[in-house]
Amino acid sequence: MIKPHGSNQLTPLYVQDDARRAQLLKDAEGLPSLLVSSAAAANAVMMGGGYFNPLTGYMDLADALSVAENMHTTKGLFWPVPIVNMVKSPPPAGAKRIALRDPNVEGNPVIAIQDVEKAEAVSEDQLGHMVEKIFRTQDPKHPGVAAFTSVGRTLVSGPIVVLSHSYFATDFPSTYRTAYQIRAEMEKLGWQKVVAFQTRNPMHRAHEELCRMAHKDVGADGILIHMLLGKLKPGDIPADVRDAAIRTMVDLYFPKGTVLITGYGFDMLYAGPREAVLHAVFRQNTGCTHLIVGRDHAGVGSYYGPFDAQAIFDREVPKGALAIQIYKADNTAWSKKLGRVVMMRDAPDHKPEDFINLSGTKVREMLSKGEDLPPEFSRPECAKILMKYYQSLPQ
């Protein structure tokens, strides 16, 4: 199986020993507390699960700036986005160890314990520079920019031990999996070559066929459908609805034993190219050998070109920085001429009207009105699940 990023073995930061975890939770009650942002909590969950291997904690300002500037820490580790704990109020002066509290769970339980190495003020210029490099814009209307700039200006760095998977393990018990759990499952299945599909949306026929194409083209043993379970922007479909629709599709239309449906606990960044590289890093940590990167991967609005998330791997990711390979996909849609889903680049004789391709707005409109989607666009069983959700919303 492919090696993790930056090390020979995965080093998840979640304390798996029940007795030690219970003792640390008891110790945490006597420590100064810090209510962290949703983004920082998600970073802890990802480090806890081994997804952010080989990181041992939150980056300091020098590393955050270096990663934003050139995708390397000051010690040379390749990493695409800063993994930070930024807060509005610094920890108590002199505090060497603090309990980090989860903003996304009732009662704000302790999610991790952090050794405080530094608490550094981030200037407006430094923040703006990081934002520009990560998101390629400083537009406050960009949801990722808005989230990154709203959490405070004090960067608290240092190693952590993770004591909780937040709400992900309890709210999504059948779907949430750590990187080390996914590795173990793929090893049990005997999968050596695995293609990962990232999604924050339901999967229509085009996505389904894209997974099949990639599976066949790379000669994979299996497919990891890996969905984001954390916070999204308003208007995106909730994780439980996506989960139900995807499971229905896989159960009915994929051969048994060829697909793992899992999810990870992270908030969407909408950082386009940089986030695509982050997706590659943590899919490598799950053991996947290939990641499908399609049109406008991890994008939002018109902030990125349609294939910028593919181009970054050729132009900015140093050769050998990652072991995982990228499967570059074009837009896929049902061809009326050929009677099947194709990548548009493979049908140069087609005109736009030769494809069945609905916009997200049109899909939402049809489902809200109770209108069936074309079976060439969406599996009827999946469309019914989405229709039920849309019809439950206030009209």
Q: Which residues are catalytic?
A: 200-201
Q: At what angle do helices 273-286 and 179-189 cross, to 10 degrees?
A: 50
Distance (Å, whole) CA 393 – CA 395: 6
Residues 6+ apart with CB under 8 A from 49: 12, 14, 165, 177, 178, 179, 180, 181, 264, 265
DSSP, collapsed to helix, strand or coil, labels residue 169 as helix
Strand bridging mode 259-264 / 222-228: parallel
Distance (Å, whole) CA 26 – CA 39: 25
**Terminal CA-CA length for the chain:** 49
Residue 65's identity, in one-letter code, is L
Distance (Å, whole) CA 188 – CA 161: 28
The CA angle 267-270-275, to the nearest 5 degrees, is: 85
Residue 176 φ/ψ region, left for φ over 0, alpha for ψ in the -120 to 50 degree band, beta for the rest: beta
From 52, 64, 49, select the one nearest 6 (Cα to Cα).
52
Looking up tokens 């704000």 gives 108
Q: Are 382 and 237 in contact (CB under 8 A)?
A: no
